[in-house]
Structure 1
Amino acid sequence: MAVGFLIFILLYVCLTHRENVSPHPEPLVLQMGSCRFQLDLSVHAALYPHLQRYYCRELTSEKAWCHGPRSAPLLLLAIKSHPASRKRRAVLRRTWAQQRMMGGFWLQPVFLIGTASEDSLAQVLLQEIQAFRDVLWWDFAESPSNHSLKERCLLHWVHNRCQRAAYVFKANDDIFVNPYELTQYLRQLPRVADSIHGNLANEEPVKRTGDAAVPCLLYPLEHYPPFIAGGTILPGAMILKLYQVSLQLPVFPLDEAYLGFLALAANINLRHEGRFQVWGLVKDELEAYKESITVHGVSMERMEEVWKELWN
């Protein structure tokens, strides 16, 4: 009862005394091919006011995440997760989301989580946070449109608290990651720090119906700018540019498209790599996992099986 009451007070203070700042000094004109356009802040503020008004504030953050051995570059594994996905996080902690040295990098996992709506779930989450100390917890409510706040607030946090990160690998908690292939990719690719990397979505059509629907008033074009779908590598050298444009662009309610808008505004190249398997594998064989950087759509049971086979 005491823990639940403390959580309630903490969330009430954070939600009712949030700084009221405007992170959009001047609108940016974006260029996509021959098309020039702006994202209208007034429309975004009318349709998604909470996305535009929210000021990034962490409920939990650990200085140790950005330390590690000075001799090794820091690779931050930033994993979007839902408060209710406790079992999935447990599997990731037993497999690829472990603090370790690999391929010359220091790997540091951090789970990115918003607040839970149920008191009982919030209490369980708080116990998990205290036990594992690997959750970056914000005081916005967990919801699909708020995934874009995880994008913006991650940039805010890395820029202000974790500038030592050489790379940020960003993914959802429903993918399998081969950390060895990830680090080899970073070591072997020339000029790897000059681009954002992953599976590139080009000419992705804008949906006007369904869960991912976007009204014409919000975004009138028929296709999105190129963006990365699934696991994404953000070089630490690009964080400042992305953070700066995030202060000027309105927060778009679809997270992957939002990062695409930020990259376009910051004039950052996106590089396609086919070993980011966003559509799963044609054949679920161990050799395919060995050669892939990420695989989407792997069950928790299969993830643990593959991990044991790979490292044994």
Structure 2
Amino acid sequence: LRTHQWCFILFNVLLFHALLFGADLLEEYFLRSLPLSYTDAKVLEIRERARKLDTDPLKANLSKSYTASSAGACSHQEVFLLVLVCSSPENRTRRSVIRQTWGNVTDAGGYAVLTLFALGKPASVITQLEINEESQKHRDIIEGSFIDSPTTQTQKIVMGMEWTVTFCPQARYILKTNEEMFVSIPSLVGYLLSLTQLEDIYIGRVIHQAVPDRDPASPGFVPISQYPDGFYPDYCSGTAFVVSQDVARKVYVAAEEVPISVPPDIFVGICAKKAGITPIHSSRFSGEKHIRYNRCCYKFIFTSSNMKEDELFKDWREISDGKDCSL
């Protein structure tokens, strides 16, 4: 190749990396929310209650709160990243696919990772029997005592936070995600290890100035009596976000004062604001977007949405081949 051809190739390689990494840094800089003040008396009260939270009563209500609890899943291990996958009771096949792909990672760079599935009770007795069998086999099901439906997804989030602070208080970080997602566990763990801030971590794809749905005919309807403000506070997309253990405690405590009718991801954002926690934006979380597959890209991003089962198998096999991505 001639000199000008080599220059052209080099320029395109540098441009690709500038767009890949530079856009992420710029987006995080411009979309970073301003830190909240801890001088508010209510904020300080919530943070203090979270610090002193007594989980013994929660353990005593085990049979009332959970149909299947996997209470011993975190015992006798220091968990760096606890992954809670919100799943529908009927989606047994999807849970199996996750167990065989990205959910199969139990160690990332020497740090322990634990993946569990959070769901409510099914309406079908047959499905419940299948879940009982699945839970006995894999020991990774957290099933609440409420019926799983579109209107109980916020309740599922609260259950996940409650389970975390009760049965896995040693987990340093908690990733809440959905079953249709791809998650690059090694990439995410590497990022979390680079953080210098150790508390008040609430990170994901941040949504700004979302407007409450005031349409009574809409499934997401939130009446003014439940939430009177014109905009929601900044919050992380519910497709995937990470919180530190202290944030899980603060959100759980603040949840007592937030209407359960608010959509689940917004519910967490409101709880976070009440506890003086500012969401941190990272564009490596895809939100609701499906990222077109590229092996090196999938090694860099944290999540991609709307993944088909055959895609998960194929993509996971390719990015797990041990090959590095380099110029």
Q: For this structure pair, what is the TM-score category when the shorter chain's length is used for normalisation?
A: 0.7 to 0.9
Cα deviation code 1:251-270 (max 9, x no counterpart): 23410111011001111111
Match of 1:65 in 2: 73
1:239-258 pair list within 5 angstroms:
239-258=248-267
Is it true that 1:310 corresponds to 2:316 in the alignment?
no
Match of 2:229 in 1: 221
Match of 1:275 in 2: 284
CA spacing shift, 1:139–1:263, aligned 2, 3 Å? same
User: What amino acid does structure 1 have at the position aligned with 2:108?
Assistant: M
**SS across alignment from 2:104:** coil
| Aligned pair partner of 1:114 in 112, 120, 125 | 120
For 2:150 and 2:242, the matched residues in 1 are separated by 22
User: What amino acid does structure 2 have at the position aligned with 1:273?
Assistant: S
Q: TM-score, normalised by structure 2?
A: 0.74
1:283 to partner: Cα distance: 3.4
For 1:142 and 1:185, the matched residues in 2 are separated by 33
**SS across alignment from 1:74:** strand
For 1:279 and 1:125, the matched residues in 2 are separated by 28
Moved more, 153-162 or 244-253: 244-253
Could you say which structure has the higher strand fraction? 1
- The count of aligned residue pairs is 259
Cα deviation code 1:77-118 (max 9, x no counterpart): 101000011111011000111251112321111100100101
For 1:264 and 1:274, the matched residues in 2 are separated by 21
Q: 2:290, 2:307 within 8 Å by CA — same for their partners in 1?
A: no
**SS across alignment from 1:129:** helix
**SS across alignment from 2:214:** coil
1:67 to partner: Cα distance: 2.9
CA spacing shift, 1:242–1:225, aligned 2, 3 Å? same
Is it true that 1:259 corresponds to 2:268 in the alignment?
yes
1:188-207 pair list within 5 angstroms:
188-207=194-213
User: What amino acid does structure 2 have at the position aligned with 1:159?
Assistant: V
Could you say which structure has the higher helix fraction? 2
For 1:187 and 1:120, the matched residues in 2 are separated by 43
Cα deviation code 1:240-282 (max 9, x no counterpart): 2222212333323410111011001111111000000114345
Give the root-mean-square deviation of aligned CA atoms.
2.2
For 1:116 and 1:272, the matched residues in 2 are separated by 35
1:190 to partner: Cα distance: 2.2
For 1:250 and 1:214, the matched residues in 2 are separated by 9
CA spacing shift, 1:282–1:75, aligned 2, 3 Å? closer
For 1:193 and 1:103, the matched residues in 2 are separated by 22
Q: 1:276, 1:293 within 8 Å by CA — same for their partners in 2?
A: yes
Match of 1:46 in 2: none
For 1:287 and 1:74, the matched residues in 2 are separated by 25
For 1:197 and 1:281, the matched residues in 2 are separated by 19
Match of 1:148 in 2: 154
Largest Rg, 1 or 2: 2
For 2:168 and 2:148, the matched residues in 1 are separated by 23
**SS across alignment from 2:94:** helix
1:9-158 pair list within 5 angstroms:
57-67=65-75, 69-70=77-78, 73-98=79-104, 100-158=106-164
Gaps (5+ residues) in structure 2? 1-35, 38-61, 322-327
Q: 1:77, 1:107 within 8 Å by CA — same for their partners in 2?
A: yes
Q: TM-score, normalised by structure 1?
A: 0.77
For 1:252 and 1:207, the matched residues in 2 are separated by 12
CA spacing shift, 1:69–1:126, aligned 2, 3 Å? closer
Cα deviation code 1:7-57 (max 9, x no counterpart): xxxxxxxxxxxxxxxxxxxxxxxx99xxxxxxxxxxxxxxxxxxxxxx970
Q: 2:233, 2:269 within 8 Å by CA — same for their partners in 1?
A: yes
User: What amino acid does structure 1 have at the position aligned with 2:99?
Assistant: R
For 1:280 and 1:288, the matched residues in 2 are separated by 14
Q: 2:286, 2:302 within 8 Å by CA — same for their partners in 1?
A: yes
**SS across alignment from 1:65:** coil
1:68 to partner: Cα distance: 5.1
User: What amino acid does structure 2 have at the position aligned with 1:221?
Assistant: D
User: What amino acid does structure 1 have at the position aligned with 2:256?
Assistant: L
Is it true that 1:208 corresponds to 2:217 in the alignment?
no
